[in-house]
Structure 1
């Protein structure tokens, strides 16, 4: 499962794009049993080009590299690649990429989509627990059925086993594997592929599906000894958890996270962060850029007979390890309040006066400024 869209122009500019993913070697998913699985589209009835997961009434979790491609609609609860035969279609109001996302390595490949209206479909459960090697996981999406092949017309699924990052590094020696990534698979013929990016990686827990990761990138699709790479949810709790607490509302103070060109989406306000204890993480080392790979052009599959035809014209994909668009290098539109030691209550980062606690390590000075509606002050030195 990875993004289905043209990356040639971006690749020529950055020389650092990776490949995007679908389901290879899997089977058709049971109809009506995975309604939280979300497709990202350019129009309400176009073909899905990325995946996602409904994690709140109007909140979708996806991959950061899916942002900035004009995917202005989500399809939730549909079994089909395109059209309006079932499920819901809701317009995206705001895109929020992880502030630490690095498009060179795909570290922190996570993003939040805030929707214009609430979905009637129940969100998926999340787990921020670490996933051990050997854990059986499941991937679902509408990605291509082979590398560079046609997309599936219906929701597909495949079972892959998680592997340790140290082992993953021995298989993907040309790439950086860090703690924000989770590897799974590596068995020939079973993998996610182009078009699955941003979609869910889940486990079965007490009879329920539980989200533990996000489809991120891979070196080709379903090749022996080349596992797929997923965003590890346990490493981004501080970024995701606030969106689980309350329903997000809209505010003009939140800067847009879409790249360079002006966004048509109205800025919105993230929900209230959780009051659970936050832990400070050591900064991660700088990673070397991935070597660019070549990838065959992707072809969009034909639509269902009773649905509208896809509006997207398939284009040539440059790389095999994915991503497309670079996240925004936005400058916050507001500044954090001045701070003094006595007003920080021992906090050495971003302190929220309205919440009464120190926000997590992911809240950099710039990010602290962008959430000034929480009455934030920057206490860093």
Structure 2
């Protein structure tokens, strides 16, 4: 588990499930980091309870995509660089595992099953966020079904993808923003999307909308190369 503490908007996760992670960096949604978070907690499975497995790091730098649009949520992506001591950073464990970045332009088949996770609400109007991390399974929707017509007229850009459960059961919701959409590709769990926005939660025939990570591989590499460890 990874936790992004301080200054996160109330609708975003204050504790983030496993995202793409290099030894010193985390990838998440731009909407969740209006200001620089002070620390990141890895390995916590209960939102407000300390754990013997957690790893805590200060945040050194935040990159929010230069073209992030707070109205449409286009380019909803950011990178956190963690402070390290003598080059040491996150250690892989049962609770802390990275997801792989996809190749630029990778397209998985329609209806590929993927996993989402987070501490978001169980329904749109639920008064409470989840205290324990929850996981669900959704499928990648075809582009022709990822349109403004099924999302109350909100624009869907080429930098977004849709995923949902056609049964209307599993879905991201308020408090899950910035979390991962991971899909199995060549026997590796690959970060294909970041929870961005949706029209309600868990409504039948309405997918959630995610940042399309494959469109940002070059941007991610440029930021890493510009600020090496």
Q: What TM-score do the two structures reach when normalised by structure 1?
A: 0.51
1:165 aligned residue: 143
1:93 is aligned, of 45, 49, 60, to 60
Q: Which residues of 2 match residues 96-111 of structure 1 at below 5 A?
A: 96-111=63-78
Tell me what 1:77 maps to. 43
Distance in 2 separating the partners of 1:50 and 1:175: 28
Supply the distance in 2 between the matched residues of 1:132 and 1:107 (Cα, whole angstroms).
23
| 1:119 aligns to 2:99 (yes or no) | no
For the 8 Å contact 1:186–1:228, the answer to whether it is kept is no
Using the alignment, how far apart are the partners of 1:100 and 1:50 within structure 2? 25
- Aligned-pair CA distance for 1:160: 0.5
Aligned twin of 1:41? 5
Going from structure 1 to structure 2, the CA distance change for 1:271 and 1:199 (only over 3 Å counts) comes to: same
Q: Structure 1 residue 55 and structure 2 residue 56: aligned?
A: no
Larger radius of gyration: 1
Long gaps (5+) in structure 2: none
Taking a change above 3 Å as real, the CA distance of residues 173 and 144 of structure 1, as seen in their structure-2 partners, is closer
Q: Supply the distance in 2 between the matched residues of 1:48 and 1:167 (Cα, whole angstroms).
A: 27
CA shift for structure 1 position 77: 2.0
Change in CA separation of 1:65 and 1:176 when aligned onto 2, cut-off 3 Å:
same
Report the aligned-residue RMSD.
2.3
Give the TM-score, by structure 2 length.
0.82
Deviation for aligned residue 1:177: 0.6
Query: Of 179, 185, 199, which aligns to 2:158?
Result: 179
* 1:1-381 superposed matches below 5 A: 37-42=1-6, 48-49=13-14, 51=16, 53-69=19-35, 71-85=37-51, 86-117=53-84, 118-121=89-92, 122-128=97-103, 129-149=106-126, 150-169=128-147, 170-185=149-164, 187=166, 188-242=168-222, 270-271=227-228
Tell me the matched-pair count: 210
The offset of 1:271, in angstroms, is 3.5
8 Å contact kept, 1:38–1:51: yes
Kept in 2, the 8 Å contact 1:60–1:113? The answer is yes
